[in-house]
Amino acid sequence: MPGRLFDDNMYRFESPQPSYWEATAGRSHFDDAPLDDHESCDVAIIGGGYTGLSAALHLARDYHIDVRVLEAGHTGWGASGRNGGFCCMGGTGVHRQDLVRMCGLDKVREYYASQVDAVELVRDLAADEGIEYQSYGSAEVEVAHSPKAFERLQKDFELLTNKLGLQAEIVSADECRERYYDSTELYGALITRPAFGLHPLRYCLGLAGAANRHGARLHSHSQVIEWSKADDGQHRLSTTGGTLTAHKVIFACNGFIQEQLRSEFFGRTIPVISAIIVTRPLTEDELAAHRWSTEHPAINSRRILNYFRVLPDNRFLFGGRGDVRGTHSGEQQTYMHLEQKLRQVWPHWGHIDIDYRWHGLICMTATMCPSIGQLDDDDSIFFGFGYHGNGVNSATWVGKQLSDWIGKGREPVGLPAIIRGLSRKYPFPALRMSYLKFGIFVSRQLDRYG
């Protein structure tokens, strides 16, 4: 398929991922029948993940705008239905200290304030709309994988608390063992708040249900295959089943972007595979073997990081970067590497069966920051993408900002400068996968030396 950087294996819209979330999401109560006619609306949204659904919910609920969402798979088919469920601060592709060096302290402070708001927005939406997303834990634990990494986390602690005014705590390795868990790779940790874990697909379907209840129309299995604009200024989105005509369009495809749909979006992102394995439920004795006693989601401090959490039914979720092609065999290798890594860091769990394995695409940009806005040369097109693997809060928040932008007819006040506007194009976009491979190689070497 033109306009895609990975193997077709990554874009099987007709098949759900064999994920733990799909197996435990329960039934959804909303109408998302495919588009099968020639219809029209005020705002059409391409992509039914958190960005698109949050925008649809806010447009319908807060502005009574006639909005429709076109989703290629089932609702929540993309990253929003298959992520790790970490609702935490983040969203950029560079380390905090480097972000300050790149953008300046004031801009980073402004950005982090929006990240705190974004976590709170998820919590508020769930409370307001009755979304049962299985909240778990109340902080994020960032575990140092080496003594040098712990020194970096200590500097981060100073930055977060003294300069950015955020809630953080630094914890020694011994204290980590007392409070959280023990493993072969633990040299202290940085604890940040607000943060918590959730069931990502339930949250996504909850957003969809709320959007639908407030009047948004959802169309699953409605992949946009052509996007044109007529002389009267109306957008025409064609799917295999029908066409949707709209005054405005929000492009919300993140890592699953089809670049050929609009030339303006070509070459601006590098999707990256992230993959997850989930064990069978661990017994109390097995948990005790690694002194596991926390509900908080956790990550390690590597540049090529791993993320992990114990789920409410005591299964262990372990995630990390995938291969660079997305083929079936690459996928199997990724799972093998994840299993090896899990066993290396938590050797007492070496014999535990893995019940679920799946993968998906996150999205990086050349500015290493999310990108949100309105096209300069067409003010009827809006976009939000590039959350660098941290979209539970970020994408939800971006969807709301886009809805306020459209609803009020002007840019939201205080949109952080570092995420505002279309991220720049990568130089020689055809070389993006080579950049990715090189980036992974360098990061791996740096991780090796702490």
Query: Can you give the binding site for ligand FAD, defined by CB under 6 A?
Result: 13, 46-52, 70-73, 77-80, 82-86, 223-224, 252-256, 258, 274-276, 307, 319, 359-362, 385, 387, 389-392, 395
Task: Kindly state the smallest distance separating residue 72's Cβ from ligand FAD, in Å.
Answer: 4
Sign of the alpha-carbon torsion through 446, 325, 51, 3: positive
**Which bin fits 277, alpha (ψ -120 to 50), beta or left (φ > 0)?**
beta
Tell me the closest approach of the beta carbon of residue 385 to ligand FAD, in angstroms: 6
Burial annotation 397-413 (CB, 10 A radius, 16+ → b, else e) = bbbbbbbbbbbeeeeee
User: Shortest gap between Cβ of 398 and ligand FAD (angstroms)?
Assistant: 8
Can you state the angle between helices 105-129 and 391-408, rounded to 10 degrees?
Answer: 90
**3-state SS assignment for residue 361:** strand
Closest approach, Cβ 74 to ligand FAD, in A, equals 9
* Amino acid at residue number 387: Y
Question: Is the CB of 322 or the CB of 416 nearer to ligand FAD?
Answer: 322
Q: How far is the CB of 177 from ligand FAD (least distance, A)?
A: 24
DSSP 8-state assignment for residue 380: E
Measured from the CB atom, the residue of 8 and 158 that comes closer to ligand FAD is 8
The owner of tokens 């029209």 is 40
* CB nearer to ligand FAD: pick between 188 and 320: 320
8 A C-beta contact, residue 230 and residue 236: yes
> What is the rounded distance in angstroms from the CA atom of residue 99 to the CA atom of residue 76?
31
Least distance between ligand FAD and beta carbon 119 (Å): 10
Please, which residue, 83 or 367, has the CB nearer to ligand FAD?
Answer: 83
Helix (H) or strand (E) holding 186: none
Q: Which is nearer to ligand FAD, 254 or 269 (CB)?
A: 254
Q: Which residue is nearest to ligand FAD (CB)?
A: 391
CB atoms within 10 A of CB 61: 18
Query: Whose Cβ is closer to ligand FAD: residue 182's or residue 339's?
Result: 339
Nearer to ligand FAD, 256 or 265 (CB): 256
Per-residue tokens: 310: 């114990």
**Least Cβ distance, residue 297 to ligand FAD (angstroms):** 7
Helix (H) or strand (E) holding 7: none
CA angle 40, 44, 49 (to 5 degrees): 140
Q: Is the dihedral of CA 38, 43, 44, 48 positive or negative?
A: negative
Which of the 8 DSSP states describes residue 411?
Answer: P
